[in-house]
C-alpha cells in the first residue's frame, strides 16, 4: 500500500491487519503521520518502507512479493495544486505511473487506486455518473483524470487489472485539521472546539456527498476481492449517495460537538468567497459499485459525524 500513514491509508492498514493480512506500506510522510501507524508498527505482519513514489527503486521494493496494491498516496487538495501545480503533477501522475509499472512488472494481481470526484469538473449533471465527466477545474482534478487514463490504458495494452475508486469527500478519524489545505470537517471541528468561527466559502449552499471513511475501507476490500471480470479495469464512485450542504454540515457538526461543550452551540460561522476550482455541487450515483462490487455503504453523513466526533473531541483540543 502507498500512503499508508495518511488518513484513509492508515484506516485501511488497520482493517487489513485485523483480517490477518501481510501489509507493506510505502510512505514519505509528506502528509501522513507516524502517529497514524502506532498500532500497526507493533504487528509482526506489518512492514514500513520510508520512501517517495517518485523514486522508482522504492516503488520496486514496495511491490516485491505483493499480491495486491492499494494506491492511496497523493498530494491532495485543489488549492494546493493551484499554488504548486508541478509538484502535484509530479506526485499524482509521475509517481502513480511509477507504481503502476512497478506493480505490473512484479506480477501483482490487481492495482486498486484512489481517484477523486474532482474529475467531474464542470459537468453540470445533478448526479455524477462514471461515464459522464466534464473538463477539470484544477491541476489536482487533471492529475486524477490522468491517473484514470493511464490505468485504463495499461489494463488494455498489457492485460494488467486495475480498479479506480473515485472518492467523494471522505472524512473520519485521523483526518488532520492543520495547514492551509486541511479538509473542511476536521478544520471546522477544531475551530468549534476552540470556540472560533470557521469560514464557510460561499453562502453555505454548496453541497457535497460526504463519505465516512469506513465506507471507503470497505470499497477497497471489495475491489480486491471481486472475482467478476466485468468489475475490473474500470472506475467507481465511492460515496454514500446523499447530498449535504456545507451549511447543514456545519450545523450538524456543531450540534454533535455541543454535547461535549454546550458553549459550542453559540459559535456562528463566517462567510467568505467561494474557493477557486471548487464545484458548486457533488452527488454520486453509486449504482455501478452496488451492482459490480456489491458495495453497500453503511454510514451516511450523520452517522459518520456521530462516530467521528469523539475522535475530534479527544484529539483536537490541544
Return the pLDDT at 77: 83
Which fold is adopted by the domain 7-171+213-241+285-299?
Answer: Rossmann fold (3.40.50)
pLDDT in tens, 295-304: 999 999 999 9
For residue range 80-121, list pLDDT tens digits in order.
899 999 999 999 999 999 999 999 999 999 999 999 999 999
pLDDT recorded at residue 10: 98
Cβ-count burial of 228 within 10 angstroms (0-12 exposed, 13-18 middle, 19+ buried)? exposed
**Parallel, antiparallel, or unpaired: how do β-strands 162-167 and 270-272 relate?**
unpaired
pLDDT digits (tens, 9 = 90+) for 256-279: 999 999 999 999 999 998 877 677
CA dihedral 268, 266, 169, 276 (to 10 degrees): 10
- Tell me which residue has cell 485504463: 152
C-alpha–C-alpha distance, residues 169 and 237, integer Å: 11
The pLDDT value recorded for residue 277 is 66
Q: Which residue has the cell 465506507?
A: 215
**Domain ranges, ordered by start, for the chain:** 7-171+213-241+285-299
- Quote the CA–CA distance of 314 and 307 in Å, as a whole number: 12
Would the pLDDT of 311 be above 70? yes
Task: Count how many Cα atoms sit within 13 Å of the Cα of residue 56 in the half-sphere of its side chain.
Answer: 6
Q: Which of 140, 212, 240, 312 is catalytic?
A: 140
pLDDT mean over 200-224: 95
68 is catalytic: no
Distance from chain centroid for Cα 160: 23
Amino acid at each position: 500500500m502507498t500512503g499508508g500513514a495518511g488518513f484513509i491509508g492508515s484506516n485501511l492498514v488497520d482493517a487489513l491487519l485485523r483480517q490477518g493480512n501481510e501489509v507493506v506500506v510505502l510512505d514519505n510522510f509528506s502528509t501522513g503521520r507516524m502517529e497514524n501507524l502506532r498500532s500497526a508498527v507493533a504487528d509482526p505482519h506489518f512492514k514500513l518502507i520510508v520512501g517517495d513514489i517518485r523514486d522508482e527503486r522504492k516503488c520496486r521494493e514496495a511491490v516485491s512479493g505483493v499480491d495486491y496494491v492499494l494506491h492511496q498516496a497523493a498530494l491532495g487538495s485543489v488549492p494546493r495544486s493551484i499554488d504548486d501545480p508541478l509538484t502535484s503533477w509530479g506526485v499524482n501522475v509521475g509517481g502513480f505511473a511509477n507504481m503502476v509499472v512497478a506493480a505490473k512488472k512484479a506480477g501483482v494481481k490487481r492495482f486498486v487506486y484512489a481517484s477523486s470526484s474532482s474529475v467531474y469538473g464542470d459537468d453540470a449533471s445533478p448526479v455524477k455518473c462514471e461515464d459522464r465527466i466534464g473538463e477539470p477545474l484544477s491541476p489536482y482534478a487533471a492529475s486524477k483524470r490522468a491517473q484514470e487514463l493511464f490505468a485504463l490504458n495499461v489494463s488494455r495494452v498489457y492485460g494488467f487489472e486495475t480498479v479506480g475508486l473515485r472518492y467523494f469527500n471522505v472524512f473520519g478519524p485521523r483526518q488532520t485539521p492543520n495547514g492551509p489545505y486541511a479538509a473542511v470537517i476536521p478544520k471546522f471541528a477544531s475551530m468549534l472546539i476552540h470556540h472560533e468561527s470557521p469560514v464557510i466559502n460561499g453562502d453555505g449552499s454548496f453541497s457535497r456527498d460526504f463519505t465516512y471513511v469506513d465506507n471507503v475501507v470497505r470499497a477497497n476490500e471489495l475491489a480486491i476481492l471481486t472475482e467478476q471480470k466485468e468489475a475490473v479495469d474500470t472506475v467507481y464512485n465511492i460515496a454514500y449517495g446523499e447530498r449535504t450542504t456545507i451549511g447543514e454540515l456545519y450545523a450538524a457538526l456543531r450540534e454533535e460537538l455541543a454535547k461535549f461543550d454546550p458553549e459550542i452551540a453559540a459559535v456562528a460561522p463566517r462567510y467568505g468567497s467561494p474557493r477557486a476550482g471548487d464545484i458548486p455541487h457533488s452527488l454520486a450515483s453509486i449504482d455501478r459499485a452496488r451492482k459490480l462490487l456489491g458495495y453497500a455503504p453503511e454510514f451516511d453523513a450523520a452517522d459518520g459525524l456521530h462516530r467521528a466526533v469523539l475522535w475530534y473531541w479527544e484529539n483536537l483540543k490541544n
